[in-house]
Structure 1
Amino acid sequence: MTLTVAVQMDPLASINIAGDSTFALMLSAQARGHRLFHYTAEDLNWSDGRLWTRAHPVTVQRVAGDHFRFGDPVSLDLGAEADVVLMRQDPPFDLGYITATHLLERIADRTLVVNDPASVRNAPEKVFVLDYAHFMPPTLVTRSLEEARAFLKQHGAIVVKPLHGNGGKAIFRVGPEGENLSALMEVFNQTWREPHMVQAFLPDVAKGDKRIVLVDGEVAGAINRLPGEGEIRSNLAVGGSAEKTELTDRERAICAELGPELKRRGLIFVGIDVIGGEWLTEINVTSPTGIVAIERFDGTDVAGLIWDAIDRRLAERAA
């Protein structure tokens, strides 16, 4: 069955096609004969129960510098003319992002939105993971310098990061002496109104930070991301590198516990992060990545698995 797929994402011209998961999903959809449309979240409009957007028909190809072709823009009714919406714009998870989930939620009974917009809104990466605190490293959520100092004293070295950050941005290690902790908390409190995440520093991060991708609650594959020289961050977006990996028993237990809840919430494409084979740090649901690297190392067509899961969801709706 040919589907009409609307892809809500960042501008196509700016993506790195060598590793971009959304681009891989678009290539896979196109290979199945689906029609693709591209639009940005800023283009959404709502009136009288209709949600529409100015969208471009698009074709894609894996040719750097010539990876997409737009057709003439059209007004696309997402509730009546689209079968699937891929909500794939990158964070920040701000009010613009949240508003887009509210708008897309209004068509979710007619059009399959991946991931489910209400579930995305209710499961921000570093908040949803608190439901699984028994798998996490020691963690504090706070704006208080006093609490952060007490936590540092307890754990010896800590990492401070924004609660709604992404891509490894603004992650700081503070050593046992607490150098610059007060200045750092001051900057964080001036920059963000919400609390911040403080975690015990895990020396095992030097061995890598594993990204495990789950598709409709089932493990699809994993890569180990290694930090660059002089870095504690292993995100590929900030210079980390990827290597082939296998799951530990603890990681399989984490996935087994998370999987049914992810499936229940309509979170079809999820990437979780695990340090040292045992410490769960994030559950990425907004715009998870990693499927291109998994295919490169394991040969697993994760994009195809995601479209298979989408087909199953559509069949369930039609039954």
Structure 2
Amino acid sequence: MTMTVAVQMDPLDSINIAGDSTFALMLSAQARGHRLFHYDAGDLNWSDGRLWTRAHPVTVQRVAGNHYRFDEPVSLDLGAEADVVLMRQDPPFDLGYITATHLLERIAEHTLVVNNPRSVRNAPEKVFVLDYPQFMPPTLVTRSLEETRAFLKRHGAIVVKPLHGNGGKAIFRVGPEGENLSALLEVFNQTWREPHMVQAFLPAVAKGDKRIVLVDGEVAGAINRLPGEGEIRSNLAVGGSAEKTELTAREQKICAVLGPELKRRGLLFVGIDVIGGEWLTEINVTSPTGIVAIERFDGTDVAGMIWDAIEARVGEKAASPR
């Protein structure tokens, strides 16, 4: 099966090919003979029931500094000419991102969009996880300084982070004395209109934050991400490092509970974050990462597993009556 794959992502010249999951997916798709197109979400157009974009046919190779080649751009009808759209641009999860999901939702009956745009819109990473409080650390979602102070008093030390942040940005630990808490909440409230996420600080984060990748609801692999010197954040994008790992019994239970719901929602490629082998902190559905590191440590072809699942879904869609 040869498919036309449109990749909605950030500029290709800005990525780190050594660890970028989207680039790994593109390499894997190309190796299977699929045709690749690259476009920016800002180039989407809709009229008279059609959704199209200015897209570049693209070929990729694992050569730093010479990792892609564009052919002349074309007008690509995403509903009629594409088999798959990979929605892989990085957050922020802002109105531009949300609007792209609304537009892509209009072609989802004909073209497979990964991940399902309606489900992505309804399941931002730090909001979707609230559906599973039994696995979460103590958590407060608020804009209130008074409520945050009361939460700090109950839990001794806390972490404050933007509700729609990504990549480990703007995550702050506040100690038991509440140093600068009022100033921090003032900055947060001035910067973001939405509430913020406040969680009990988990000392176990010093031993790592596990990224577990699920493909169509099944565990594909995991890495443990260790924070850098003097950091509480273990995200690879902010200096964390990765190591080989295994799942705990609690993590296996978390995946078993989440898996069927992810599959039902059409969330085919998901990365969940677990601290200390037991505390679920995020369910990443917008542009999850980690597959390159998993392959490096385990030899697991997660990109291939994702394309197996995509090809199966496209086959099902083609066989179903319209």
Length-normalised TM-score, structure 1? 1.00
Alignment of 1:60-209 (within 5 A): 60-209=60-209
Q: What is the DSSP-based 3-state SS (H/G/I as helix, E as strand, rest coil) of the residue aligned with 1:313?
A: helix
Q: What is the DSSP-based 3-state SS (H/G/I as helix, E as strand, rest coil) of the residue aligned with 1:129?
A: helix
Deviations 1:256-282 (A, max 9, x none): 000000000000000000000000000
Q: Distance in 1 between matches of 2:49 and 2:235?
A: 40
Q: Distance in 2 between matches of 1:277 and 1:178?
A: 28
Q: What is the DSSP-based 3-state SS (H/G/I as helix, E as strand, rest coil) of the residue aligned with 1:130?
A: helix
Q: Distance in 2 between matches of 1:19 and 1:132?
A: 30
Deviations 1:221-263 (A, max 9, x none): 0000000000000000000000000000000000000000000
Deviations 1:114-158 (A, max 9, x none): 000000000000000000011000000000000000000000000
RMSD, aligned CA: 0.3
Q: 1:312 deviation in Å? A: 1.1
Q: Distance in 1 between matches of 2:217 and 2:302?
A: 13
Q: 1:81 deviation in Å? A: 0.4
Q: Distance in 2 between matches of 1:81 and 1:316?
A: 18
Q: What is the DSSP-based 3-state SS (H/G/I as helix, E as strand, rest coil) of the residue aligned with 1:213?
A: strand
Q: What is the DSSP-based 3-state SS (H/G/I as helix, E as strand, rest coil) of the residue aligned with 1:233?
A: coil
Aligned to 1:50: 50
Deviations 1:96-131 (A, max 9, x none): 000000000000000000000000000000000000
**Between Structure 1 and Structure 2, how many residues are aligned?**
319
Q: 1:314 deviation in Å? A: 1.1
Q: 1:310 deviation in Å? A: 0.4
Q: 1:311 deviation in Å? A: 1.0
Identity percentage over the alignment? 91
Q: Distance in 2 between matches of 1:125 and 1:90?
A: 13
Q: Distance in 2 between matches of 1:225 and 1:314?
A: 34
Q: What is the DSSP-based 3-state SS (H/G/I as helix, E as strand, rest coil) of the residue aligned with 1:76?
A: strand
Q: What is the DSSP-based 3-state SS (H/G/I as helix, E as strand, rest coil) of the residue aligned with 2:92?
A: coil
Q: Distance in 1 between matches of 2:84 and 2:238?
A: 31
Deviations 1:54-99 (A, max 9, x none): 0000000000000000000000000000000000000000000000
Q: 1:318 deviation in Å? A: 2.2
Q: Distance in 1 between matches of 2:221 and 2:13?
A: 28
Deviations 1:275-312 (A, max 9, x none): 00000000000000000000000000000000000011
Q: 1:313 deviation in Å? A: 0.7
Q: 1:317 deviation in Å? A: 1.4
Q: Distance in 1 between matches of 2:298 and 2:63?
A: 23
Q: Distance in 2 between matches of 1:318 and 1:228?
A: 47
Q: What is the DSSP-based 3-state SS (H/G/I as helix, E as strand, rest coil) of the residue aligned with 2:99?
A: helix
Q: Distance in 2 between matches of 1:315 and 1:252?
A: 30
Q: Distance in 2 between matches of 1:90 and 1:317?
A: 27
Alignment of 1:265-304 (within 5 A): 265-304=265-304
Q: Distance in 2 between matches of 1:311 and 1:48?
A: 29
Q: Distance in 1 between matches of 2:231 and 2:80?
A: 48
Q: What is the DSSP-based 3-state SS (H/G/I as helix, E as strand, rest coil) of the residue aligned with 1:75?
A: strand
Deviations 1:193-227 (A, max 9, x none): 00000000000000000000000000000000000
Specify every segment of 5 or more residues in structure 1 that has no aligned partner in the other structure, as ranges: none
Q: What is the DSSP-based 3-state SS (H/G/I as helix, E as strand, rest coil) of the residue aligned with 2:305?
A: helix
Q: Distance in 2 between matches of 1:133 and 1:62?
A: 41
Specify every segment of 5 or more residues in structure 2 that has no aligned partner in the other structure, as ranges: none
Q: Distance in 2 between matches of 1:56 and 1:316?
A: 28
Q: Distance in 2 between matches of 1:191 and 1:314?
A: 42
Q: 1:315 deviation in Å? A: 1.6
Q: What is the DSSP-based 3-state SS (H/G/I as helix, E as strand, rest coil) of the residue aligned with 1:33?
A: coil
Q: Distance in 1 between matches of 2:198 and 2:42?
A: 33
Length-normalised TM-score, structure 2? 0.99
